[in-house]
Structure 1
Amino acid sequence: MALDEALLELVAAGGTGPVLRFYRWQQPTLSLGYFQPYAERHGHGPSRACPVVRRSSGGGAIVHDRELTYSLVLPAAHPLASNVVSLCDAVHAGLVAAVRLQGVAAQLCRPTRTDRTANHPFLCFARRTPGDVLVGDTKIAGSAQRRRQGATLQHGSVLLDRSQAAPELAGLAQLAKAPLDCQQLLECWTGQLEQRLGLHFEPRTFRAACTRRAGELTEKYRSAAWTQRR
C-alpha cells in the first residue's frame, strides 16, 4: 500500500512514466476500503486473525492471501487517466482475455437494474460492480482507484485460490478445469495491457527516492490512527 502511494506521488510529480506492478503478500492480510468502518472487520469471523491495513482507495475489504495484487499508475496526460470506467474496463478486459487463453470463460460484469442492490457486503468479492471480472456468477477480480493532481492509481486483486481467511470465496483454482500457469497469465495480461493502453512496460527496479518515500508512508499505514480512522 505504501509503495503504491509512493509510486502515485512519483508519477504525479513527473519523476517517471506509467508504472505497472504485480505483487503478493507475505502473510494473509485484510485490507479495508478507505471509507469502511474499522468495526466491520470484527463481523467477518474467518479473517479476524489477519492483520489489517486500510487502503487509500475505496471499495470493500479484501483478504490478500491466495491472490495476485496489481497496481497501475498513469500520468494525467494519458487518455484513460481521467476516465474511471474506461480505465477499469481496459484493465479488466485485458485480464478477461488472458484468463480465457487458459481455458476459463471469464467475462465483464454487466448487471441489469434488477441485479443491483442497495446493500454493500463487507468483502469486495461478495459485491458486484459493473466492470468486475466474473467466471459464471463468481467474481474473480475487482479494482479501485485513487487520483491526485497529475496521476491516477488503479489497483486491484485477482483471486487465484480459496483462502481459509475467506472460505466463502472461490478462486480461479476452483473454477478452472486445469491448473493455471500464473506466470503465463501475468505475461499475457501484461501484453494485453500494453495493447489496450498503448504502452510498453519494461522490468525496472524502484528508484531510491521512491523506496525511501515508501518507507516513510509505511509508518502511516501501520498506525492505528490511519487504520482505525473510521
Structure 2
Amino acid sequence: MALDRWLLEQHAAGNLPPILRFYSWNPIALSLGYHQRRIPGHWHHFTWRGQPLELVRRPSGGRAVLHQGDLTYALVASGFEGSRMQVYRELCEFLIRGWRSLSIDLHFGDSGRGYIHNPNCFGTATAADLVRPDGTKLIGSAQLRRDNTILQHGSMRLNPDPALFATIFETPLRHSPLPIPGIQAEQIATLIPLLTTAAEDTFGISLVPEALSSSEYQAVQEKAIEFSFIP
C-alpha cells in the first residue's frame, strides 16, 4: 500500500511515467478502506496457519479485502477527463479485455452505496467492480485521485479458501471456479503477462519492466507506517 501511494506521488510530481504493477500478498492480509474504522473484533486477533492476520490500511476507499489466493493490480496514470465512474470504465477496460481472452466475460456491478454497511468488499458489486455473468464478483477496485493523477488498484479473486473467508466475514463465500484452459488458478503469475499485453493493446502503450532502486525502496519503507492499522 505504501508503494502504491508512493508511485502516485512520484507520477504526480513528474518523476515517473504511468505505471502498472501486479502483486500478491505474503503473509495473507486484510486491507481496509481508508475510511473504514469499525471492524469486527475477532479480526484483531485472528491467526491462520500459525500466522497472525495482517491488517493494512489502503490509501483508497471501499471495504475490507481478504488477500489470499488473489492477484492485486495497481495502475497509476494521469490526464483523464470525465467523472470518477467514467475513469473507472476507461481503466477497467484492459481487465475486461484480458479476461475475455480467457473466455471469461465481465461486466460492471450495479450496487449502490449500501456497500458502506458491509465490511466485506466482495459482499457487494458496485459500478466500479467487475462481475461474471452469474453475478459473482471477480474484481473489486478502488481509486485515489490527487488533482489529475489517479491510483486505481484492485483485487482479482482467483483461488480463495472458502473456510477462511467464511470465518473472517462470518458469511459463506460466493465464488465461481475459474474454468481457464491451460491455466491453474493457483498459478497466479501466469496471468500477469496476459493482462500486461491487454493493457498495452487497450491503452496503445509499451510497458517496460523496472525495479525499485535501493533509495526508492528506502523511501517507500519510510512511508509504510502510514498504512499500519491502528484501532
Question: Which one of the candidate residues 109, 114, 118 is aligned to 1:118?
Answer: 114
Q: Distance in 2 between matches of 1:83 and 1:201?
A: 26
Q: Is the 8 A contact 2:72 2:154 kept in 1?
A: yes
1:33 to partner: Cα distance: 0.4
Residue of 211, 215, 227 corresponding to 1:221: 227
Distance 1:217 1:211 in 2: 10
What residue is the counterpart of 1:169 in the other structure? 173
Measured in 2, the distance between the counterparts of 1:207 and 1:16 equals 13
TM-score for both structures, normalised by structure 2: 0.81
Query: How many corresponding residue pairs?
Result: 215
> Retained in 1: the 8 A contact 2:102–2:180?
no
* 3-state SS, counterpart of residue 214 of structure 1: helix
- State whether structure 2 residue 10 is matched by structure 1 residue 10: yes
**Any residues of structure 2 matched to 1:1-230 within 5 Å, and which?**
1-37=1-37, 39-42=38-41, 48-49=46-47, 50-75=53-78, 78-79=79-80, 83-104=83-104, 106-111=105-110, 116=112, 118=114, 120-135=117-132, 136-149=134-147, 151-163=149-161, 164-167=163-166, 168-171=172-175, 174-176=177-179, 178=181, 180=183, 182-222=188-228, 227-228=229-230
One-letter amino acid of the structure 1 residue matched with residue 130 of structure 2: V
Do the aligned partners of residues 110 and 162 (structure 1) sit closer, same or farther apart at CA in structure 2, a change above 3 Å counting?
closer
Distance 2:222 2:148 in 1: 21
Go from structure 1 to structure 2 and tell me whether the alpha carbon gap of 1:210 and 1:12 turns closer, same or farther (over 3 Å shift): farther
How many angstroms apart in 1 are the aligned matches of 2:202 and 2:86?
A: 11
Unaligned runs of 5+ in 1: none
Higher RCO (CA 8 Å, separation ≥ 6 residues): 1
Q: Deviations over 1:52-106 (max 9, x none)?
A: 011110001000111001111113xx235x64223322332322222222233x2
Report the 3-state secondary structure (helix = DSSP H, G, I; strand = E; otherwise coil) of the residue aligned with 1:40.
coil
CA spacing shift, 1:180–1:42, aligned 2, 3 Å = farther
**SS of aligned partner of 1:166:** helix
Letter in 2 for 1:169: L
**Equivalents in 2 of 1:25, 1:125: separation in Å?**
17
TM-score under structure 1 length normalisation: 0.81
Instruction: Give yes or no for contact 1:11–1:150 (8 Å, CA) kept in 2.
Output: no
2-structure distance, mates of 1:215, 1:12: 19
| Offset, 1:36 | 0.9
Give the match's secondary structure for 1:58: coil
Gaps of 5+ in 2: 48-52, 167-171
After superposition, what is the alpha-carbon deviation per residue over 1:168-188, rounded to whole angstroms, capped at 9, x for unaligned? 33556x242656354453222
Percent sequence identity is: 30
Counterparts in 2 of 1:140 and 1:191: CA distance versus 1, 3 Å: same
Matched residue type, 2:28: P
The 8 Å contact of residues 33 and 57 in structure 2, kept in 1 or not, is answered as yes
Determine if contact 2:8/2:151 at 8 Å carries over to the other structure.
yes
